[in-house]
Amino acid sequence: MALFITVSAASNRVPSFARNAFPLTLEASPEETVQDVKTKIQAKIPKLYTSRQRLTLKSENKPLVDDVRLKDAGFATGVELEVKDLGPQVGWKTVFVVEYAGPLLIHPVFYDLPRLFYGTDIVHSDLQRMVFAMIEVHFAKRILETLFVHRFSHGTMPLFNIFKNSAHYHVLSGFFLAYDLYRPVFSASSLYVKGTFRNNPQFLWVCAGLWAFFELSNLSAHLHLRSLRPAGTRTRAIPTGYGFGLVSCPNYFFETLAWGVVCAMTGSWASYLFTIVGTAQMIAWALKKHAAYKKEFGKTYPKRKAMIPFII
């Protein structure tokens, strides 16, 4: 039995290209999903592609979930929906690649062209060479994880967010960190480095080993999370194993520790700033994910902290 659905536009978010298109009357099967309804709307208004649409029952604010079947959502003939235009969208993978590509490209410019920024040539210290390599590997790893490891529950985000999100990485871990780390005070001839533990090969290699351990632990957590979510689904299972026995988000914890190593090696104000800001953001994300796990799995979810063992 077919359903006939009326779709109107949310009064405060009507795109100019669709002002004369509403209301729409659509025919659908009870077995079809909310995503199928979005596809039917796109067929009528091609510029209003599915990821731009937020569908709600008329007079309700809660968005309808894409993969829910219409019969399971209680749809009946004559049901009225409202569609809100979310604006231009961009894929999450694109957003993350743009974010991480910033520092990956910015650091070599400061490292290789010191005269341009500091007015003098610099003989890089072992500290600078090692930290430069670590930062480049870190952001290359993040891009590769985005392309081949991470699975996203939401396919897109508003286009404007790519600029807002990128600012954190391009400015704090890009321009600020690169400018601070490769300046003369960290060079081979600097008294801040020469004859100190910062020029001690054993100290540097121990730090590099710890950093690599934390980075690989972070990768391990990401691979485990991927294994719990089949491709093309939003299915989640309780994560277990290495790191997850103590916290819900060990990937964030290990990343914080990796950046803590950079702070300890250099004493750079920019590395501390980026690490503190990044850690605060990751704690906020971890608390949100931890709460979502507890809500979804209830009493079956193990007792653990959100991100920092025994603390948060």
Q: Is the pLDDT of residue 10 over 90?
A: no
Strand partners for 3: 28
- pLDDT (0 to 100) of residue 233: 64
Domain range for residue 244?
90-300
Nearest to 127 by CA among 275, 261, 274, 266: 266
pLDDT tens digit string along 125-156?
999 999 999 999 999 999 999 999 988 766 78
Residues 103, 122 within the same domain:
yes
pTM: 0.85
177 contacts: CB under 8 Å, gap ≥ 6: 103, 107, 135, 268, 270, 271, 274
Check residues 237 and 274 and name the one with the higher pLDDT: 274
pLDDT band of 232, cuts 50, 70, 90: low
The answer to whether residue 308 sits within a structural domain is no
Check residues 93 and 279 and name the one with the higher pLDDT: 279
pLDDT band of 185, cuts 50, 70, 90: very high
Residue finishing a domain among 55, 87, 119: 87
Residues 33, 99 within the same domain:
no
Residues 255, 165 within the same domain:
yes
Q: How many domains does the chain have?
A: 2
Q: For the chain, first and last CA: distance in Å?
A: 52
The answer to whether residue 231 sits within a structural domain is yes
pLDDT tens digit string along 244-294?
999 999 999 999 999 999 999 999 999 999 999 999 999 999 999 999 999
- pLDDT (0 to 100) of residue 67: 85
